[in-house]
Amino acid sequence: MRSNRLGWILLAPTMIILFLFGVVPFLYIIWLSFHQWNPAAVNPDIIFIGADNFRKLVFDPGFLASLGVTLAFVTFAVLSELVIGYLLAQAFMKDFPGKAFFRTIHTLPLIMAPIIVGSVWKLMTTPSIGIIPHFLDSWFGYELNIGQSAVAAFVVTVIMDIWHWTPLVTLTLIAALVSLPPDPFEQAQIDGAGKRQIFWHITLPMILPALMATVFIRLMDALRIVDEVLMLTGGGPGSATRFLGVHIFREVFPRTSYGYGSAVSLIVLYLTIVVCWLLYVSMLAPRNPKKD
């Protein structure tokens, strides 16, 4: 009993901070989402409007368009990061000259602030001065202009995200691969299993928990991407890269539509939880059946 009390005392500061800066703002967002509040309105007061904000967003073409491009972005970016990250992790499991150097270099994007990543990619992709349009034009005769081509802008944002976050996937998968016991692989080889069979039936199932944890982290990050995209494209051209994070930013800050912005934020949170839950149920839960 005494040790229990000591535990609570030691935990209290963390719990209080978590409550004040995590739970209270979250509750505030929920409360705001049921209100209309725009300080620029004739009536700048906070007015209760029930579920109107949620009803509005179901039919809001801007929100639905943002949702669509965000889901496409998340799918392409996260899948690519997983594949490339796994291949790099496998490469780093082997010895080759300069391995330590390359491993260090390849993690550098990870430590860059998103706003810097966006700035660097903007400089690299601006027509006339950017190195990427220059070489694409010189080598392939392709004129890259992400201010004009919606497809090009979307693809560049995906590549930028892959460049930024693949090292995270690589690092977590290296940790998972290093910790694998050698016995199952040796036995499989003795039994004549091929590389593909070993990957699908031994490696993948054994690194699945680490892989899924990485997927969850990347999913959550990708769903709320803002800084890099605002810097690179501003959400354009048109609405091609107006991802949900950018949409929320525009609604809440420039448009000062605090109530509606809160409702959109909640829906994005709900969407994130649902997607992660579906992935968990489909991939991990069957491996961990409940014990009666």
Partner 1 sequence: MKIALRFSASVLALALATGAVVAQDLPIENAEWWQEAGAQFDGVTLRGVTESTPPSNFISDVLAPKFEELTGIGVDIETTSWDQMYDKAIKDMEAQTGIYDMVYIEQDIIYFYLARDFLVDITAALNEKPELKAANFSEENFTTFADNFRGDNGDLFGIPMEAFIKIYLYRTDLFNDPDVQAAFEAQYGRPLAPATTHEEYTEIAEFFTQWGKDHDMDLWGTTAQAHTGHPASWYEFFESVAPTFGVYNWGIDAGNNYAASVENGGSMNSDTAKEALTWWLHLRDIAPPESVQSTWSETATTFAAGRVAQGLIYGENAAWIASDESQSKVVGNVGVALPPLSDGVMEAAESGEGYVGYYDGGAFGLPVTSGNQDAALLFLQFMALPEVQEAWAVAAPRITLTSTYDAPSVQALDAELGGYYSMLRDDGRLFKGAPPYPFHRQVIEATAPTFYQILTGDLSVDEGLDMMAAQAEEELSNLGYRQ
> Contact positions toward partner 1, by CB under 8 A?
38-44, 62, 122, 126-129, 143, 145-148, 150, 233-242, 250-251, 253-257
Instruction: Between 41 and 274, name the residue whose CB sits nearer to partner 1.
Output: 41
Q: How far is 144 from 133, CA to CA, in rounded Å?
A: 5
Angle, helix 24-33 to helix 258-279, in steps of 10 degrees: 110
Residues in contact with 221: Cβ distance below 8 Å, sequence separation at least 6, in sequence order = 165
Shortest gap between Cβ of 43 and partner 1 (angstroms)?
6
Instruction: Provide the residue type at 236 as one letter.
Output: G
Instruction: Between 122 and 164, name the residue whose CB sits nearer to partner 1.
Output: 122
Instruction: Between 192 and 254, name the residue whose CB sits nearer to partner 1.
Output: 254
Instruction: Between 128 and 138, name the residue whose CB sits nearer to partner 1.
Output: 128
Shortest gap between Cβ of 33 and partner 1 (angstroms)?
17
Instruction: Between 221 and 227, name the residue whose CB sits nearer to partner 1.
Output: 227
Shortest gap between Cβ of 136 and partner 1 (angstroms)?
13
CA 134 to chain centre: 30
Shortest gap between Cβ of 188 and partner 1 (angstroms)?
52
Shortest gap between Cβ of 38 and partner 1 (angstroms)?
6
Instruction: Between 61 and 181, name the residue whose CB sits nearer to partner 1.
Output: 61
Shortest gap between Cβ of 253 and partner 1 (angstroms)?
5
